Structure 1
Amino acid sequence: MTVSPTDPATTDVTPATPPTGTWHIDPLHSSVGFVARHLGFVRVRGRFSDVEGTLHITDPAEDSSAEVRVATATVDTGVPARDRHLRSAEFFDSANHPVMEFHGHNVRREAGHWSMDGDLTIAGTTRPVTLVGEFLGEDIFPFTGGRRLAFTGRARVDRREFGVSGLPPLPGATIFVGAEVDIELDISMVEHDVRPFAEQILGRRLAV
């Protein structure tokens, strides 16, 4: 199955190349979000609060790879009852599949953006996904003095391809959540693993 990304803005600008190395997601300053449509047109946004992962940037950058893990039980849409439903077997089935994963490879430099193909696993089912995004630049991570990189990413998936049925609670009811879901990423990455620092700030261990 091929999952098409959302259409990127068209531009002839060559995207900047990020520096090589192994970079770690900063969970305190990153957002892994999604947008679903309720009853076909009203957009509902959510995010996951616990995420970890690494990006291995090589020279050439086209050989780079990524591994990301997200704790499904940390889904947050701002409505506790809805979040409990999303954690149930009708959606993420967090009790049996506490983590969803993305393994990225096959990086391409395209007009004004980067693309990365990968394998996304949700609720035990793996399907190919293409992320489209931008490298926003490099600066200093103020808490350690090390370097920090910033990226955006987006993709569109059909949740039914992952077995995420989202069945309505009543027989014969209209489908509540649209099949297509947009993934939206705003990612801060640093040179070292900052999970211990994040756990100290949060006062708890991360779930992934």
Structure 2
Amino acid sequence: MSTTPDTAPRAARTLDVPPPGVWHLDPLHSSIGFVARHLGFVRVHGRFTDAEGTLTVADPVEETTARVRIAAATVDTGVPARDRHLRSPEFLDTARHPVMEFRGHGVRRTEEGWAMDGDLTVAGVTRALTLDGRFLGEDVYPFTGGRRLGFTGRAAVDRGDFGVSGLPPLPGARIFVGALVDITLDISMIDHDIQPFNEQLLGRPQAL
């Protein structure tokens, strides 16, 4: 018998699919990010800092559904002037469309993990979207004593499909911002609603 300490996460070894039930997005420990191209190939990163959502894991797991709502005005690229422009009617138009939403209506296995098929609504326009990702495992959520799940996800969208076709107010702007945007997700989900706990910890109300 080996005496080497076993440091691999228990959940990652023992779970192939997430347990059935309703799981709540943990916004404090999740990242909803995006990447756009500058001058054709340089990657510029951003994120949305406020979201809420649920994942309803079914049995069979293929019937799993999800609903995630994102406060569009919480877009953050690290440059306040650029963020204000992204909130404007030329891009996300957050005054008229304050919430972006993803509704997933089923999952399927892939060679790399899982895919969830659904619909994404941005700036009032809805298009089909498939998220490719991996289930990372299940473990104790230490802050409340509940259980948590971990996921990663990714997708690519053409912002023009959603009418988000604005450009910087600069000469030759079309070469500055690409049409394709990568979505990158690192998601923590909890077996109970922890939003009141997060609001207390963050000291501010939820934006949604």
Q: Same fold (TM over 0.5)?
A: yes
Deviations 1:99-150 (CA, angstroms, capped at 9, x unpaired): 1000001210122310011000000000000000000001100011110000
**TM-score for both structures, normalised by structure 1:** 0.90
Give the Å deviation of 1:177: 1.1
Give the Å deviation of 1:172: 5.2
Contact 1:131 1:154 survives alignment (8 Å): yes
> What is aligned with 1:58?
58
Contact 2:116 2:131 survives alignment (8 Å): yes
AA of the residue aligned to 2:134:
E
AA of the residue aligned to 1:89:
P
Cα separation, 2, equivalents of 1:38 and 1:130: 25
**TM-score for both structures, normalised by structure 2:** 0.90
Cα separation, 2, equivalents of 1:154 and 1:166: 23
> What is aligned with 2:198?
198
Give the Å deviation of 1:174: 3.3
> What is aligned with 1:9?
none
AA of the residue aligned to 2:84:
R
Give the Å deviation of 1:169: 1.4
Cα separation, 1, equivalents of 2:185 and 2:82: 22
SS at match of 2:174: coil
SS at match of 2:56: strand
> What is aligned with 1:110?
110
2:45 aligned with 1:45: yes
What's the % identity of the aligned pairs?
Answer: 72
Give the Å deviation of 1:171: 6.2
Give the Å deviation of 1:206: 0.9
**Residues 1-208 of structure 1 mapped to structure 2, 5 A cutoff:** 16-170=16-170, 173-208=173-208
Number of aligned pairs?
A: 194
| Structure 2 runs not aligned, ≥5 long | 1-14
| Structure 1 runs not aligned, ≥5 long | 1-14
Give the Å deviation of 1:90: 1.1
Q: Larger relative CO (CA 8 A, sep 6+): 1 or 2?
A: 1
Give the Å deviation of 1:175: 3.7
Cα separation, 1, equivalents of 2:196 and 2:88: 30
Aligned pair in 2 of structure 1 residues 31, 184: CA closer, same or farther (>3 Å)? same
Contact 2:67 2:104 survives alignment (8 Å): yes
Cα separation, 2, equivalents of 1:165 and 1:174: 10
Larger Rg: 2
Superposition RMSD in Å: 1.2
Contact 2:17 2:135 survives alignment (8 Å): yes
SS at match of 2:83: helix
Contact 2:167 2:174 survives alignment (8 Å): no
